[in-house]
Amino acid sequence: MTGKNIVGIVFSNAYDECVSELTGIRTMGSVPFACRYRLIDFALSNMVNSGIEKVGVLTKSNYQSLMDHVGTGKPWDLSRKNDGLFILPPFSTNETGGNRDKLASLKGSMGFISRSDEEYVLLTDCNTVINLDIEALMDYHTEKNADMTIVYKNGKMPNLTDVIVLDLDEDNKAEKVSISPVTNGDVNFSLNVILMKKALLERLINEAISLNYKDFESDIIQRNVDNLKVYGYEAKGYSAVVESLQSYYNINMELLNPENCDDLFNRERPVYTKVRDDMPAIYGIGSKVKNSLIADGCIIEGTVENSILFRGVRVEKGAVIKDSIVMQDVFVAQNATLNCVVADKSVVITPNKTLSGAENYPVYIGKEIVI
C-alpha cells in the first residue's frame, strides 16, 4: 500500500471552540458520533485503510477522554513495536483559534516529524466526517506532480474561521486561495486534509518560525500558492463538516438516510473504533422503534423515532424519544419525553419530564446532569 510512505498528523483540538457544548470536557476528536464512534475514528480509519503505519495525534487540552478512547491504537492496528500511534504532548500558545493553534502545534511537533522516515505527510482535522480513499489521493498527487494536494468539497462554505477556498483551473490547479471570503454561492472549500512531502512541510514550518508567522492557512497555504504547485482533490460521496452544535445534530440526523449511512460506513473501507463488549440491544414487549440507529447494550421499553442512541441507553415504558441524539449510558425514566434533544453521556431524565427543542434549535443536556 502507498500509505506506508506517509506519516499521518491528526489535529485533535482543531475548532474545539465551535462546539463548546460538546468540547468543554473533551477534544473535538473524542466527540461521540453515530451510535458508537468518535470523530477521530474517521481520520485514523482513513489512514490505516490506506496502509499508513505511523500516526501522530496532536493535543492541546481536555485530552483525557481522547487518550482513553484511542489507547495504544489497537482498534486501528496501530499498537506496534515500531511506528504505530503517538499521542504528542500538549503544546502551549497565547494565540486562540483553530489555525493559529495548528501552526503552533506543528512547530512543537517538529521533532516527531523530522525523525519520521516516511517521505510524505498527511495533515487532517477531526471535525470532518468523511470516508476517504487516501491511496487514490496519493495516486492523484503523484499523477499531477503536485507539491501540495488539498482535499476539497464543492458546496456552501462552513461557518468557521479561516476556511480555505480554492479557485481552480481546468486541471484542478489552484490559481488563487482565499480565506473565508464573503460569498452566498457554492465554493470549493477545503476539508483540511492536506498531502505534501515531509521535506516541504519542514521547510515551510522552519520558514514560519524564522519569520514569526502565526497563521497556518494564510502564512503557509495562501502565501505559497504562487510558488508551489497546489492542486485540489474533490471529495466524492458523503462528507460533512462539524461547525456548530446545530451542524453536529444535522449530520447525525442525515445518517438516518440509509444512502448516506452506507456511503460513510463503506464496507470496503471500514471505520474502526474502540470496542466495548455489550450485549445486543433488548426491545421490550410493547416497545416501538422507527427509523433510528440503536447501539449495542440499549434496553428499549418505550418509543424511539428518528433518533440515534449510543451504547447502554435505557428507555423505560411510556418514555418517548423523537428526533434526538442520546449518548452513552443515558437513563430515560417512565413517561419522560425527549424531542430534538442532544443528551450527553450518563444523563438521567426522571419520570414525567418533557424536554423539547426544535430541528433548527436542539436542546443540549450536559454530561451526568439529572433532570
In a domain, 269, yes or no: no
Burial class (CB in 10 A: 0-12, 13-18, 19+), 182: exposed
- Which value, in Å, is the radius of gyration of the alpha carbons in the chain? 21
Cell of 296: 449495542
Backbone angles phi, psi at 277, to 5 degrees: -75, 100
Task: Rounding to the nearest 10 degrees, give the CA dihedral for residues 162, 157, 259, 337.
Answer: 80
Q: What's the one-letter identity of residue 118?
A: E
Handedness of CA 295, 69, 261, 368 (dihedral sign): positive
Distance of CA 359 to the CA centre of its chain: 22
**Residue 273 belongs to some domain of the structure:** no
How far apart (Å, rounded) are the C-alpha atoms in residues 332 and 317? 9
Same domain, 183 and 327: no
My answer on whether 207 and 297 are in the same domain is: no
Give the CA distances from residue 275 to residues 30, 187, 294, 340, 358, in Å, rounded to whole numbers and listed in that order. 14, 38, 16, 28, 33
Residues 174-211 have pLDDT tens digits of 999 999 998 888 999 999 999 999 999 999 999 988 88
**225 and 298 together in one domain:** no
Regarding whether 148 and 62 lie in a shared domain, the answer is yes
Number of residues assigned to the chain: 371
Q: Which of 233, 264, 295 is the last residue of a domain?
A: 264
For the cut 60, the answer to whether the pLDDT of residue 332 exceeds it is yes
Q: Is the pLDDT of residue 216 over 70?
A: yes
Closest CA to 289 of 263, 260, 264, 326: 326
254 and 310 inside one domain: no
Q: Do the domain assignments include residue 371? A: no
Strand 331-332, strand 314-315: pairing: parallel
Same domain, 219 and 135: yes
Domain shared by 223 and 114, yes or no: yes
- One domain for residues 217 and 297: no
The whole-number pLDDT of residue 98 equals 44
Q: How far apart are CA 192 and CA 128, in angstroms?
A: 8
Return the pLDDT at 107: 87
Q: Residue 73 pLDDT > 50, yes or no? A: yes
pLDDT at residue 1 greater than cutoff 80: no
**Interval 115-128: pLDDT, tens:** 999 999 999 999 99
The reported pLDDT for the residue numbered 178 is 94
- Does the pLDDT of residue 94 top 70, yes or no? no
What pLDDT sits at residue 95? 47
Q: How many domains does the chain have?
A: 2
Residues 329 and 183 in one domain: no
The residues facing 7 across adjacent strands are 54, 121
Does residue 358 carry a pLDDT above 80?
Answer: yes
Which of 274, 269, 11 is CA-nearest to residue 132? 269
Q: Which helix (H) or strand (E) holds 125?
A: strand 120-125
Q: Would residue 252 count as lying in a domain?
A: yes
As given in the structure block, the three cell numbers for residue 346 are: 450518563
Mean pLDDT, rounded, of the chain = 93
Nearest CA to 60 out of 6, 109, 97, 12 is that of: 12
**Residue 343 belongs to domain with CATH number:** 2.160.10.10
Q: How many helices (H) and strands (E) does the chain have?
A: 9, 28
In a domain, 164, yes or no: yes
Q: Are residues 94 and 240 in the same domain?
A: yes
In terms of domains, do 296 and 193 share one?
no
Residue 97: per-residue pLDDT: 45
Q: Are 12 and 102 a contacting pair, CB within 8 Å?
A: no
Please report the pLDDT score of residue 320 as a whole number.
98
Amino acid 339: pLDDT: 98
For residue 91, name the pLDDT band (cuts at 50, 70, 90). low
Instruction: Kindly give the residue spans of alpha helices, DSSP state H, lying in 234-299.
Output: 245-254, 258-264
Residue 81 pLDDT greater than 90, yes or no: no
Judged by average pLDDT, the poorest of 64-78, 97-111, 146-160, 356-370 is 97-111
Tell me the mean pLDDT in the region 57-83. Answer: 89
Identify whether 370 is part of a domain: no
Last residue of a domain, one of 264, 297, 321: 264
Domain residue limits at 201: 2-264
Look at residues 7, 12, 119 and name the one whose alpha carbon lies nearest to residue 52: 7
Q: Is residue 137 part of a domain?
A: yes
Q: How far is Cα 216 from Cα 106, in angstroms, rounded to an integer?
A: 9
Longest CA–CA span in the chain (Å) reads: 68
User: Which cell numbers hold the place of 334?
Assistant: 417512565
CATH code, domain carrying 128: 3.90.550.10
Residue 74 lies in a domain: yes
Query: Which residue reads 517521505 in cell numbers?
Result: 119
What is the per-residue pLDDT across 269-327, written as a single tens digit (0 to 9) for each? Answer: 999 999 888 899 999 999 999 999 999 999 999 999 999 999 999 999 999 999 999 99
Q: State mean pLDDT over 28-57.
A: 96
Question: Domain check: are 213 and 305 in the same one?
Answer: no
Bridge partner list, 187: 155
